[in-house]
Amino acid sequence: MNISLELPPLEWEKLYKFLKDRGFSFRDIDYAFFRAENNGISITFYKSGKLLIQGKEIDNIYNLIRTSFFREKNGIWLGTDEAGKGDYFGPLVVAGVVLKPEKEDKFLRLGIKDSKRLSPARITHLAEEIKKLAVYNIEVISPEEYNRIYEEVGNLNKILSMFHIKVIEKLIDKTGAKIVVVDKFSRNSGISGYLNGKIKVEEVEKGERDIACAAASILARYSFVEYMEKMHDMYKFIFPKGAGKKVKDAALEFVQKYSLKELKYVAKLHFKLTEEIIHG
């Protein structure tokens, strides 16, 4: 995994000491202040200001560097992420988690990372711990509500923007957070413009590298799975995840058992699968 950041070149001595205190060894390379290495992690700080972090398990050091060199002093920030946008069955969930600097070490020790890299049991455990430690907000958009909103706005990214903004505004009101890291889902989400002046917005590809954003991804996934389990209990039916052939077969079976009209209560109808189901 590679992560690239930009840092003022004048920070090189401060970063050198920061890494040395954490057990990194150093060597010289062309066009760089240094390359630092420790336990399979390599960090190169180029004289251009580019900071390149490489290795398999780099989330912790990435978050430590972000906190020490990019965050406002004593500032709190929040992360948002979603679950269910690629799943035909089930809700769309958007979650946000506020992280205070004094809680960051606890989050790091818990091993919080992108929910896609965690087992279901681990997600459940971490979701419970996050709820104890942090201020959070979760918006669960049921399939019925999702379908109604989609008919009005006609675009998934617009729906995502609406609910990311809703989560962020609620958490700003509760905590006064100064920065939000959003897992980037669109080239032009409109989130930054809408929230202009209220909070600094960082829309980041693979935003779950940020620990607050990763925590939000865990809460979103946990809530998505929880809703799917309730659907299973209600209909006594297994709803597979995703949008592939297995899902299409399940949807056809569901329609045969419960009718086409009932589909709007369990599925996101704008998926191409719906047309395939209607026309066989």
For residue range 233-261, what is the model confidence (pLDDT) as tens digits?
Answer: 999 999 999 999 999 999 999 999 999 99
How confident is the model over 136-182, as pLDDT tens digits?
Answer: 999 999 999 999 999 999 999 999 999 999 999 999 988 888 888 88
Residue percentage of the chain with pLDDT more than 90: 58
Closest of 94, 98, 53 to residue 212, by C-alpha: 98
Highest mean predicted confidence (pLDDT) among 107-121, 168-182, 185-199, 233-247: 233-247
How confident is the model over 52-96, as pLDDT tens digits?
Answer: 889 887 878 887 887 777 665 446 889 999 999 999 999 999 999
Please give the pLDDT value at position 280.
Answer: 63
Closest of 45, 39, 76 to residue 58, by C-alpha: 39
Please give the pLDDT value at position 137.
Answer: 97
Alpha-carbon distance of 88 to 248, in angstroms, equals: 9
Residues 3 and 53: beta-carbon distance below 8 Å: yes
Please state the rounded mean pLDDT for residues 195-215: 80
Q: Give the CA distances from residue 176 to residues 116, 169, 181, in Å, rounded to whole numbers and listed in that order.
A: 29, 10, 15
Q: Give the CA distances from residue 181 to residues 65, 102, 194, in Å, rounded to whole numbers and listed in that order.
A: 15, 18, 15
Please give the pLDDT value at position 205.
Answer: 72
Q: Provide CB contacts within 8 A for 268, sequence distance 6+.
A: 87, 88, 89, 92, 143, 146, 147, 150
**Mean confidence (pLDDT) of the chain:** 89
- Out of 3.50.30.60, 1.20.120.1200, 3.40.50.10470, 3.30.310.10, select the CATH number for domain 2-69: 3.30.310.10
Q: Which two tokens stand for residue 237?
A: 């039916």
Residue 209 has pLDDT above 70, yes or no: yes
Structural domain spans, the chain? 2-69, 77-229, 232-278
Q: Tell me the CATH class for 77-229.
A: alpha beta
Alpha-carbon distance of 236 to 265, in angstroms, equals: 14
